[in-house]
Amino acid sequence: MARAFFITGTDTNVGKTFVAALIARALKARGIDIGVMKPVETGCAVKDGALVPMDAVALKEAAESNAPIDLINPYRFAPPLSPNVAARLSGVEIDMDRIESAFKTLSAVHEIILVEGAGGLLVPLNNDSTMADLALRLGSQLLIVTPSRLGVINHALLTCECARARGLDLAGVILNHPANRSNDASIKYNRSEIERYAPVLAEIPYTPAGGTLPELPETMLKVFQ
Ligand SMILES: Nc1ncnc2c1ncn2[C@@H]1O[C@H](COP(=O)(O)OP(=O)(O)OP(=O)(O)O)[C@@H](O)[C@H]1O
Ligand SMILES: [Mg+2]
């Protein structure tokens, strides 16, 4: 069975896919057979009559995974809404067993599986379960991606506290810079303030499209050893 890492965020659009792809590339470059999952993707565009799960495709490419896209991404929806709402509007109920079954199939063939959530930790998947329940069910360690900006300390600590209260194994926080916010005075204090509460495994610099992708620090890669 693979070891699993669940990548959640303190919000949507904070860099979960960007960071997960960096991790996948770094592990692949070290010879690790890495699997990826984006169990539920919403806001999918339609191409040639089919929904395209862009996050799942980006993760698959980064990990150079040969797994079928339907295992990597069992559920995809067009409405750009939270999973339970998008599913309901599409006449579907998300079945945790189906996600777990795809996960087990991938786990049997890979050494490590990176699972990207949607939005944050308490996003509902259906009327009974949230992303936190899924992360627990998959026996995964949790990585929290959070954007360095004013307000991040509260968002990061809330997510850490929720993870701990639910018995999740928190591997650490990744402080990302999804935008160039050089005039945000909080940036130089965010890491040390969050670090008083949980390990900050890496700080990922702003990387303009087409720029050289940042290297992940060894301290962070150790989490996957
Ligand atoms: N360090 C970075 N440097 C430059 N751009 C970044 C960085 N991190 C993220 N981005 C950009 O910010 C946007 C949001 O990132 P991403 O799609 O990874 O967020 P997400 O948390 O996965 O979103 P979602 O909740 O939709 O899955 C993307 O356009 C991405 O390329
Ligand atoms: Mg994403």
Dump pLDDT digits (tens) for 110-151: 999 999 999 999 999 999 999 999 999 999 999 999 999 999
For residue range 166-192, what is the model confidence (pLDDT) as tens digits? Answer: 999 999 999 999 999 989 999 999 999
**Does the structure show a pLDDT above 90 at 69?**
yes
For residue range 4-45, what is the model confidence (pLDDT) as tens digits? Answer: 999 999 999 999 999 999 999 999 999 999 999 999 999 999
Q: Roughly how many angstroms between the first and final C-alpha of the chain, as a whole number?
A: 15
Please, which residues have CB within 8 angstroms of residue 176's CB and are 6 or more apart in sequence?
Answer: 14, 15, 18, 19, 145, 146, 147, 148, 203, 204
At 129 the pLDDT is: 98
- Ligand 2 centre to CA of 23 (Å) is 14
Q: Distance (Å, rounded) from C-alpha 221 to C-alpha 47?
A: 36
The strand order across the sheet containing 141-147 reads 34-37, 112-120, 3-9, 141-147, 169-176, 200-204
**Does the structure show a pLDDT above 90 at 220?**
yes
What are the boundaries of each domain within the chain? 3-224
Does domain 3-224 fall under CATH 3.90.1300.10? My reply is no
Query: Is the CB–ligand 1 distance for residue 204 below 6 Å?
Result: yes
Q: Which of 8, 13, 52 to mutate to test the pocket of ligand 1 (most atoms within 8 A of CB)?
A: 13
| 92's tokens | 């579907």
Catalytic hit among 16, 28, 38, 188: 38
Which ligand neighbours the alpha carbon of 145 most closely?
Answer: 1
Query: Is the CB–ligand 1 distance for residue 16 below 6 Å?
Result: yes
pLDDT tier at 1, thresholds 50, 70, 90:
confident
- Ligand 1 centre to CA of 158 (Å) is 21
At 80 the pLDDT is: 98
Rounded to 5°, angle at Cα 24 from 178 and 179: 5
Annotated active-site residue 16? The verdict is: no
At 94 the pLDDT is: 98
For the CA of 204, the nearest atom of ligand 1 = 1
| 85's tokens | 């709402």
With 0.85 as the threshold, say if the pTM is over it.
yes
At 70 the pLDDT is: 98
Average confidence (pLDDT) over 49-62? 98
**Does the structure show a pLDDT above 90 at 224?**
yes
